[in-house]
Amino acid sequence: TAGFGMTTPATVAGKVFLIVYGLFGCAGTILFFNLFLERIISLLAFIMKACHERQLRRSGLLPPNFRRGPAMSGVGSLVGWKPSVYHVLLILGIFAITLSCCASAMYTAVEGWNYVDSLYYCFVTFSTIGFGDLVSSQNAAYQNQGLYRFGNFVFIFMGVCCIYSLFNVISIVIKQVLNWVLKKFECRCCPKCHKSSTRLSRRNAITPGARLRRQNISVDTDGQYDSDTEGRRLSGEMISMRELTASNKVSLAILQKQLSETANGYPRNVCINTRQNGFSAGVGALAIMNNRLAETSDSR
């Protein structure tokens, strides 16, 4: 997907073959990138978890002979532990910068470019932008040409995989920042509307303590209101089954679903964080990142 455009098909058959092959080739490439992202995140999570356990062992929160396994269920600090998105972002960023600097040193020595142009070429190539203003391996002959082309292939291959993973981590951070901003600005501009909407949406629900708050209201005055709506709003003592069903449709549907799944023997484990966020967990690489990394938007 870099698309430098230095070598292009010239015949109609070649162009048709490119279209057909590109459908499967690009899909396979995306699949490979997602698998690479899953493996690299698993590796980083394993290393960071080992460092976290060592830190807890040094601080005395874990016994010296602690081992991974069933004993982890008794350690509250490691149950469901996931690495932070920002730590993974920092590690991938350092690795991408190191890889780009090494590749730029090779391009500067072999291609004769200055170091800034080599860094520019690395970013354009690794991010698959592919302008084509700078393209490597275009000269007729190089010293140690086979070794240089192999090194060029390795740097481009690793660089594209690393930048792809880094971009997905950045997308998770952007999603969490947007969720945090939306949560901060949720009905902050008009608190009166927020209070009124809350009161109107839950006016028929019986809340704990309603009897204590309304004990000064006599039962005989229950039918002396101008409308049936006001009577229901002020009377917290009794409510009909029809009104209860109408005001708690969502709760009853969730309860029925949970009872059905429990009876069938396969209850679904739904992540609470993904329900509360403004954006869904996503698919593909975004779903991998959400499952393997800790959601830190609530702690901002």
Domain-located, residue 136: yes
Domain-located, residue 122: yes
Tell me the pLDDT band of 225, cut-offs 50, 70 and 90.
very low
**Predicted model pTM:** 0.64
Domain-located, residue 296: no
Burial of 159 (0-12, 13-18, 19+ CB in 10 A): buried
- Give residue for tokens 């229950």: 222
- Average pLDDT of the chain is 76
Domain-located, residue 267: no
Domain-located, residue 161: yes
Tell me the pLDDT band of 2, cut-offs 50, 70 and 90.
confident
Residue-wise pLDDT tens digits, 252-292: 667 667 767 666 665 545 444 444 444 555 566 777 777 77
Q: How many domains does the chain have?
A: 1
To the nearest 5 percent, what fractions of the chain are helix, strand and coil? 65, 0, 35
Q: Which structural domain, as residue segments, surrounds residue 156?
A: 12-59+85-187
Q: Which 3 state secondary structure label does DSSP give 294?
A: strand
Tell me the pLDDT band of 141, cut-offs 50, 70 and 90.
confident
Q: Do 238 and 218 touch, CB atoms closer than 8 A?
A: no
Q: CA 183, CA 191: separation in Å to the nearest integer?
A: 14
CATH code: domain of residue 40: 1.10.287.70
The secondary structure of 69-129, three-state, reads CHHHHHCCCCCCCCCEHHHHHHHHHHHHHHHHHHHHHHHHHHHCCCHHHHHHHHHHHHCCC
Domain-located, residue 269: no
Name which of 109, 108, 110 is nearest 120 in CA terms: 108
Domain-located, residue 78: no
Residue-wise pLDDT tens digits, 235-255: 445 556 666 666 666 666 676
Domain-located, residue 142: yes
Q: Do 115 and 108 touch, CB atoms closer than 8 A?
A: yes
